[in-house]
Amino acid sequence: GVLWSKNSEFKLEFHKLVHHMITEEEFEEGWRQMLEKYSLKKHPVLTQIYEVRHKWAKPYFRGVFCARMTSTQRSESANHLLKGYVPPGCPMHLFLKQFQKLQFDREAEESFQEKRTSLSAVCLRVNLPIERHASKVYTRAMFEKFGEELYKCGAHVLDEVVPRRVYKSTHVEAEKREKWSKVEFKIEVDEDESFFSCKCGYFEHAGIVCCHALQVCLGDQRTSLIMFHLPCLL
């Protein structure tokens, strides 16, 4: 409590451990260093939550598709919506009527977003064929996430380990990053070259192609393959 309220650096480090860790090794080493830095090895709350880290720490379920949502976000969002339409203690017939109104409004909003995406122009960051294709098949929000990953490609150097099968992506400023931070990522390509699997697990977890896999596509001129699969990620 005292450390959380007075030291903003601890807040930043704790949130980075919770939201930005990629591998189990990163999390374990980052957690250990945090406890040593702030003398929290015997803190009862941190000790308790560490024992059940596999239930909340991102690296332990990065292979589980969550669409970038937190554990309770979907439930909280649904409850918030219902409270705006259904008064407390309302009879069943009123609940059904209001729930139908909620569905109608949600569908109307979804249609509006799709129309907005199709009619309004998007801003291309790098003007590559794959980016132009993504702008046509993704919604505006999804395209912006895709653009972020495409932009991150410039922060990594790609090396071919096994010709057209295994690649290594290394961060260009690896020496400046935290000691526990993972700076190398292994990308594997299956035999028919239709699927790219990255060690970071971002695609499996969030449904968005990571910058490391995009780097392989762009560097190895396989853009057409990933363009074919983009509509499947909507």
pLDDT digits (tens, 9 = 90+) for 26-43: 899 999 999 999 899 999
Angle formed at CA 74 by CA 71 and CA 78, multiple of 5 degrees:
145
Residue 180 has pLDDT above 80, yes or no: no
Q: Which pLDDT value is given to residue 225? A: 45
Give the chain's mean pLDDT: 82
**pLDDT at position 139 over 90:** no
C-alpha–C-alpha distance, residues 234 and 143, integer Å: 10
Q: Mean pLDDT throughout 87-116?
A: 85
Where along the chain do its domains lie?
A: 2-61, 72-119, 136-228
User: Smallest Cα–Cα separation from 226: which of 146, 144, 166, 172?
Assistant: 146
Q: Count the helix, strand and coil residues of the chain and give each as a percent rounded to the nearest 5.
A: 60, 10, 30
**231 pLDDT exceeds 50?**
no
pLDDT higher than threshold 60 for residue 234 = no
DSSP string, 171-199: ETTGGGS-TTS--EEEEEE-TTS--EEET
Res. 227: pLDDT tops 50: no
